[in-house]
Amino acid sequence: MIRGIWPLLIALTAACLAPGIAAAQSVPPVPAPGKSIADCTAPDRYLAPKIPLRRSAEALRAAHRLRVLVFSSVRMPAVTESVEAKRYPATLAQALTARFPGIEVSLTNKIEARAGIAESLQGLREELAAKPYDLVIWQLGSTDVLRGTDMHLFEMKLAGGIGEIRSRHADAIVMSMQYSPRTDFMFDAGPYLQYLRWTAKMEGAALFNRYDIMRYWVEDGLFDLSELQPGASIFEDVHRCVGQLLMRFIANGIAAPETQ
Amino acid sequence: MAEARRARGDGGRTGTVVRLPVRPRPAPAPRDLRLDFFRGLALWLIYLDHVPSNVLNVATLRNFGFSDAAEIFVFISGYTAALVYGRVMRERGVIIATARVLKRVWQLYVAFVFLFVVYLAQIAYVAQRFQNPLYAEEMNVLRFLDEPDVTLIQALLLRFKPANTDILPLYIVLMAAFPVVLWGLIKRPNLTLGVSLAVYAVARLMGWNFQGWPAEHMWVFNPLAWQFLFVFGSWCAIGGLDRLEPVLRSRIAVGVAAAFLLASLLVVLSWSVPALEGLVPDAVGELIYPISKTDLSLLRFLHFLALALVVAHFVPSDWSLLRARFAQPLVLCGQHSLEIFCLGVFLSFGAHLVLVEVSGRLLTHVLVSVGGIIAMVALAALMSWYQENEKRRGPDRAAGGSA
């Protein structure tokens, strides 16, 4: 009888000690105040679009210009201009200008407030009808994950939006939502990401997977996104990094052999 | 965490349980330990899948084929429900059996409400303490706590479901309808299965699902679709399995099932492992995508059938390893599925907290996962020990079985 108890006892002790051992082993990731752009990394697989950006390459070659639209659909709009200057579109505009000297880069930044994918698509359509673009970056998903939008609706509208962008002779990049380690037990982004991946692939849009990239940062200790009260610069650092990597993603898509 | 600690702390005394015969019943047929074993396995996998971004997730079933632990859980739950309450219905009549089933529904409902309270506590903590400007949107959503009247009522109506507990409301609805289904299965098994299949087909074709809350939410597990797997499990227990015996014995059927499992393994791997991308032509993906979990896609159902067929073919019900020491933890967990499921959800919240609060390193992932499973086994062992004790003291106190 006694012999039977021992393995269980040992296992239980181990279970009780587990959190302690985990705590002792852990090294808190170094917070990164004022990250420089050079620190900004992500594995190559996140930075190589599966769909070449033909229209953008053509615009660069033929017209020496690149007209970009960043269309984000967020629930809470970052209303003030000072906040807007810290979001990734601002970094992206600077980075693209630096990356393509001699090219006239114009970036339009539109935010559809409190928009799920249906409202976002509506706004996107209006914007595309108003002005021509070479490259459209459609950022979406957050609101839908939070609301739990019906999957079929999500897929249908996503396909519709990508089709609309392409029918206007622009390259389409779909950008996934943020990764939020603190709240991901409440909102399951998984199914939406899968739909983003597949629908983008099938409808001919490149996918800039911000979610996976941010998750990679957290797992690699580049950023600590779960700190309860992080330093003031976290917002800026993350957005600057996203803008920088997005520029590299676009440059890779333009340089793809199929566009030459 | 208190409950987990208690389970671990008292666990030492439970060591003796391991040697006791498992749940002796006055039943004519011995309990099929495969049911407990695989339901225990499903519970472990569900726990691992519920810890967000757990590294060990890669080893769970969903990464090797179309279906996952949810199918195993629902099928076996249907099977055992029919075993337990079917006997009651035959021996003591429809009314007593219905009363027993409804008592079980009530237990499930209370379990759901308990988990909802735990979930609210965690959200309240995060909403109060977490101030990261990056996540203004997410935090804004947490303000639903500002309208407790609406949130609480919607939760009590099973329309607002905390993350990871979705399978409980499904289970509640399935069990609430079970007396009628069981009566049908006993009287006209094939007709009842046919009706269930028809409901599945119509729901899928028409896009019917239960409405959730907030308004855009639908149920994550569509009861109108998933009922088919549950009823199919019950049908198997009520004698359907004997009818399927030739199929289970057939080498051709097993060969086809194994080939299907292999093909789905390749498809799923080619989607998730970057190195294997291109292994399966895109056309295949375009043809079969999306594989809906909410509506129990036919591919998921077939994958589960293939898996069950192969397992049933190669694992006989009297397989000696099922009684071996290493199988005991799984069997124990499978025998107390409701409690272990709830503990699993509860622990997954705790595990998530450890991963974001203490350390997100690989070792912590492993420790948190293993620790959670040990806690689940300890609670299951404790409950078995307690039940045995109660039974020995007075047979009148041994209430109906778990299903």
- Over residues B317-368, the pLDDT tens digits come to 888 888 888 899 999 999 999 899 989 988 988 888 888 777 777 788 889 9
Residue B349 lies in a domain: yes
Are B231 and B200 contacting, i.e. CB atoms less than 8 angstroms apart?
A: no
Task: Rank A110-124, A141-155, B331-345 by mean pLDDT and report only the highest.
Answer: B331-345
At B380, the pLDDT band (50, 70, 90 cuts) reads very high
Tell me what the mean pLDDT of segment B125-134 comes to.
77
Beta carbons of A148 and B216 less than 8 Å apart: yes
Determine, for residues A183 and B371 on separate chains, whether the beta-carbon distance falls below 8 Å. Answer: no
Q: For residues B285 and B395, which has the higher predicted lDDT (pLDDT)?
A: B285
**Sign of the torsion angle spanned by Cα atoms B22, B23, B25, B27:** negative
Checking if the pLDDT of A163 tops 70, the result is: yes
Verify whether the Cβ–Cβ distance B133 to A235 is below 8 Å: yes
Please check whether residue B278 touches A, CB under 8 A: no
Q: Which of A202-206, B20-24, B116-120, B281-285 has the lowest mean pLDDT?
A: B20-24
Q: Which of B50, B138, B267 to mutate to test the interface with A (most CBs of A within 10 A)?
A: B138
Identity of the residue numbered A107 = L
The pTM of the full predicted model, rounded to 2 decimals, is: 0.79
String of DSSP letters for B165-209:
-THHHHHHHHHHTHHHHHHHHHH-HHHHHHHHHHHHHHHHHHT--
The partner residue sitting opposite A23, judged by closest CB among B8, B130, B358, is B358
Instruction: Give domain status of residue B19, yes or no.
Output: no
Specify if B67 maps to a domain: yes
Closest partner residue to A180 (CB to CB) among B135, B367, B374 is B135
B185: contact with A, CB 8 A cutoff: no
Instruction: Write the CA distances from A108 to A126, A132, A134, B55, B377, integer angstroms.
Output: 14, 11, 11, 39, 57
Give the mean model confidence (pLDDT) for residues A46-54: 93
Percent of chain A at pLDDT > 70 equals 82
Task: Provide the pLDDT for residue B229.
Answer: 97
**What's residue B403's pLDDT?**
55
Contacts of A152 in chain B (CB under 8 A): 207
Residue contact A15–B352, C-beta within 8 A: no
| B contact residues 149-178, partner A, Cβ 8 Å cutoff | 162-164
pLDDT at position B9 over 60: no
Taking the alpha carbons at both ends of chain A, their separation in whole angstroms is 76
Say if B28 is an interface residue toward chain A (CB within 8 Å).
no
pLDDT in tens, A57-82: 999 999 999 999 999 876 555 556 77
Q: Give chain B positions within 8 Å (CB) of A183.
A: 126, 135, 138, 142
Task: Identify which has the larger pLDDT, A120 or A33.
Answer: A120
Q: Which residues of B touch A143 (CB under 8 A)?
A: 137
Q: How distant is the Cα of B142 from the closest Cα of chain A, in angstroms?
A: 9
- What pLDDT, on a 0 to 100 scale, did the predictor assign at position A7? 55
Size of interface A-B (CB pairs under 8 A): 174
B220-235 mean pLDDT: 95
Q: State how far residue A128 is from chain B, nearest Cα, in angstroms.
A: 26
Q: Please give the pLDDT value at position A183.
A: 80
Of B135, B282, B290, the CB nearest to A195: B290
Quick check: is B292 in a domain? yes
Q: Looking at the 3D structure of chain B, how many domains does it have?
A: 1
The more confidently predicted of residues A46 and B355 is A46
Q: Which residue of A has its CA nearest to B131?
A: A229
Give domain status of residue B22, yes or no.
no
Instruction: Return d(Cα B352, Cα A180) in angstroms, integer.
Output: 12
Residue B25 located in a structural domain: no
Question: Which of B292, B367, B368, B370 to probe by mutation at the A interface, max A CB count within 10 Å?
Answer: B367
If you average pLDDT over each of A12-16, B69-73, B198-202, which comes out highest?
B198-202
Is the predicted pLDDT of residue A1 greater than 50, yes or no? no
Closest by CA to B210, choosing from B233, B227, B234, is B227
Flag if B364 and A26 touch (Cβ within 8 Å). yes
- A11-27 burial: b if 16+ Cβ within 10 Å, else e: bbeebbebbeebeeebe
Q: Please check the confidence at residue A31 and state whether its pLDDT lies above 60.
A: no
pLDDT at B5 over 50: no
**pLDDT single digits (tens) B140-158:** 666 666 677 777 887 888 8
Per CB-CB distance under 8 Å, the chain A contacts of B378 are 8, 12, 15
Domains of chain A: 42-259 (3.40.50.1110)
CB contact under 8 A, A183 and B352: no
Q: Is the pLDDT of residue B233 over 90?
A: yes
Least confident of B6-10, B35-39, B237-241, B254-258: B6-10
Q: What is the dihedral of CA B150, B154, B156, B161, to 10 degrees?
A: -120
Instruction: Sort out which chain B residues have CB atoms less than 8 A from A198's CB and list them.
Output: 285, 289-290
Chain A residues touching residue B8 (CB < 8 angstroms): 12, 15-16
- Residues of B within 8 A of A1 (CB-CB) are 15-16, 19
Q: Nearest CB to A183: which of B15, B138, B164?
A: B138
Structural domain that includes position B350 = 2-12+30-388
Q: What is the mean pLDDT of residues B15-22?
A: 41
Is residue B133 very low, low, confident or very high in pLDDT (cuts 50, 70, 90)?
Answer: confident
Give which of B353, B349, B337 is closest to B111, Cα–Cα: B337
Q: Do A8 and B141 touch (CB under 8 A)?
A: no
Q: What are the tens digits of pLDDT across the range B294-308? A: 889 999 999 999 999
Q: How does residue A6 score in pLDDT terms, banded at 50, 70 and 90?
A: low
Of A162 and B134, more confident: A162
Task: Write a three-state SS string for chain A.
Answer: CHHHHHHHHHHHHHHHHHHHHHHHHCCCCCCCCCCCHHHCCCCHHHHCCCCCCHHHHHHHHHHCEEEEEEEEEECCCCCCHHHHCCCHHHHHHHHHHHHCCCCEEEEEEEEEECCCHHHHHHHHHHHHHHCCCCEEEEECCHHHHHHCCCHHHHHHHHHHHHHHHHHCCCEEEEECCCCCCCCCCCCCCHHHHHHHHHHHHHHCCEEECHHHHHHHHHHHCCCCCCCCCCCCCHHHHHHHHHHHHHHHHHHHHHHCHHHC
Structure ipTM = 0.71
pLDDT in tens, B54-111: 777 777 787 788 898 999 999 999 999 999 999 999 999 999 999 999 999 999 999 9
A188 and B163 within 8 Å at the Cβ level: the answer is yes
Does residue B144 form part of some domain?
yes
Task: Check: CB of residue B73 under 8 Å from CB of residue B82.
Answer: no
Mean pLDDT across B37-56: 86
User: pLDDT grade, residue B11 (50/70/90)?
Assistant: very low
Indicate whether B398 belongs to any domain.
Answer: no
Residues from chain A contacting residue B214 (CB–CB below 8 Å): 147-148
Average pLDDT, chain A: 82
Any idea what DSSP says for residue B21?
P
